[in-house]
């Protein structure tokens, strides 16, 4: 039980650190079991399980924070519960009931309370729910049985640069998702499909890939495992397409932008528009809000310089500060986004 005593909270990476417990539930004979709490890091599955052969795997990512008042806050629990249901329906898995999802998230956070990073450390507790098809199939068919589990791990910044702007690459030879494929769901296979482009970008000194739409290569889609937004004058612009995962962070930032008096446009965004934007950033649970300094379209040689001084834009900084303040309880949660644990 001494596992957390020597954690250097301010310097932890975005990686896996073992915690005390995880929670699980199983779908069998047409119904979900109640949750079970375990201290095992392993899952025992049949070698013919559909998750191993046909990619029946979906997941979520959300965070818990310790406030200045000592309270634990979970950000947008309900939205993540709803999104994993949509992902399940998307690839013919059994949706986890909303109440079971919420109860299990709350339980796993409470059981691992000592791993919630202290207020002011900049770190948070990352919550990773996942569901897999577990029954044996050889024909390409959905599983009849499912396991849903949630583990937690303390994390620091996803990007090494933190809030310092990074360079991003457009790689036109790669798609993250197909036009009518699984991009709008949080399906494991989407991430496998992104690995090789991600490695190519990183090997060339870029923090992430900015994907263009997979149909015409004309519009901006997503930015690595995050959504993209830009600020132009008094407007927050974010791409809209069927291959984008609807980011809950983006949804929250759009509301914060409106609260700040900005106009919000969610619409197809031609890549050339990058020439006229004032600020750009990626956003997601892991990335929070990560500003972008330059975007290089590698295959055409075009370079979009977004931040001339290499500093984060003023509006992006304000959006980020409001988001963090709501998550930590420093600012009033006027939209009821936060679940406070007792």
Q: How far is the CB of 287 from ligand COI (least distance, A)?
A: 6
> Per CB under 6 A, does 225 bind ligand PLP?
yes
CA atoms of 298 and 304, how far apart (whole Å): 11
> Per CB under 6 A, does 285 bind ligand COI?
yes
> Per CB under 6 A, does 222 bind ligand PLP?
yes
Q: How far is the CB of 75 from ligand COI (least distance, A)?
A: 11
> Per CB under 6 A, does 85 bind ligand PLP?
no
> Per CB under 6 A, does 207 bind ligand COI?
no
Whole-Å CA distances, 128 to 60, 109, 242, 252: 6, 11, 24, 20
Q: How far is the CB of 179 from ligand COI (least distance, A)?
A: 22
The residues, any chain, with a CB within 8 Å of residue 301's CB and separated by 6 or more, are none
> Per CB under 6 A, does 227 bind ligand PLP?
yes
- Part in contact with ligand COI (CB under 6 A); list of ranges 29-37, 108-116, 280-288, 306-314: 280-288
Among 156, 181, 198, 284, binds ligand PLP (CB under 6 A): 284
Q: How far is the CB of 182 from ligand PLP (least distance, A)?
A: 11
CA atoms of 199 and 47, how far apart (whole Å): 29
- The answer to whether 284 touches 226, Cβ cutoff 8 Å, is yes
CA atoms of 296 and 265, how far apart (whole Å): 24
Among 183, 188, 214, 284, binds ligand COI (CB under 6 A): 284
Nearer to ligand COI among residue 245 and residue 269 (C-beta): 245
- Please tell me what DSSP assigns to residue 10: G
Closest CA to 272 of 216, 220, 310: 220
Q: 103 an active-site residue?
A: no
The active-site residue out of 186, 199, 240, 302 is 186
Among 124, 247, 327, 339, binds ligand PLP (CB under 6 A): 247
> Per CB under 6 A, does 225 bind ligand COI?
yes
The string of DSSP codes covering 107-169 is HHHHHTGGGSPPTTSS-EEEEEEEEEE-SB-SSS---S-EEEEEEEEEE--SSTTTTS-EEEE
Strand ranges in the chain using DSSP code E only, listed in sequence order: 22-28, 31-32, 36-38, 57-59, 62-66, 72-75, 124-133, 146-155, 166-170, 208-212, 220-223, 227-232, 235-238, 263-266, 279-284, 288-297, 302-305, 338-340
Binding at 208: pick from ligand COI, ligand PLP, none (beta carbon under 5-8 Å per type) = none
Binding at 248: pick from ligand COI, ligand PLP, none (beta carbon under 5-8 Å per type) = ligand PLP
> Per CB under 6 A, does 245 bind ligand PLP?
yes
> Per CB under 6 A, does 61 bind ligand COI?
yes
Active site residues: 186
């Amino acid at each position: 039980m001494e596992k957390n005593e020597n954690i250097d909270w301010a310097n932890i990476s975005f990686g896996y650190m073992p915690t005390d417990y995880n929670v699980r539930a199983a779908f069998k004979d047409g119904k979900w079991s109640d949750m079970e709490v375990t201290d095992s890091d392993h899952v025992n599955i049949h070698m013919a399980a559909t998750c191993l052969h046909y990619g029946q795997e979906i997941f979520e990512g959300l965070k818990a924070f310790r406030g200045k008042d000592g309270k634990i806050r979970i950000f947008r629990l309900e939205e993540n519960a709803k999104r994993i249901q949509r992902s399940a329906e998307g690839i013919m898995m059994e949706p986890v009931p909303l109440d079971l999802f919420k109860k299990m998230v709350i339980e796993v956070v409470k059981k691992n309370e000592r791993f919630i990073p202290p207020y002011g450390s900049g770190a948070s507790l990352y919550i990773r729910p996942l569901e897999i098809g577990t029954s044996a199939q050889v024909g390409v068919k959905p599983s009849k049985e499912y396991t849903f589990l949630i583990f937690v791990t303390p994390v620091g910044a996803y990007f090494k640069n933190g809030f310092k702007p990074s360079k991003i690459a457009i790689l036109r030879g790669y798609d993250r998702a197909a036009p009518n494929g699984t991009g709008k769901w949080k399906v494991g296979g989407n991430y496998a499909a992104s690995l090789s482009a991600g490695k190519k970008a990183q090997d060339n000194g870029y923090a992430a890939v900015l994907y263009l739409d997979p149909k015409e290569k004309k519009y901006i889609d997503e930015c690595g495992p995050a959504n993209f937004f830009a600020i132009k004058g008094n407007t927050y612009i974010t791409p809209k397409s069927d291959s984008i995962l609807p980011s809950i962070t983006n949804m929250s930032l759009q509301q914060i932008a409106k609260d700040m008096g900005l106009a919000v446009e969610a619409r197809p965004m031609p890549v050339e528009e990058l020439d006229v934007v004032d600020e750009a950033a990626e956003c997601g649970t892991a990335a929070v809000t990560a500003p972008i300094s330059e975007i290089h379209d590698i295959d055409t040689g075009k370079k979009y310089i977004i931040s001339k001084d290499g500093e984060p834009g003023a509006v992006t900084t304000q959006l980020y500060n409001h988001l963090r303040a709501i998550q930590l309880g420093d600012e009033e949660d006027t939209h009821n986004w936060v679940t406070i644990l007792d």
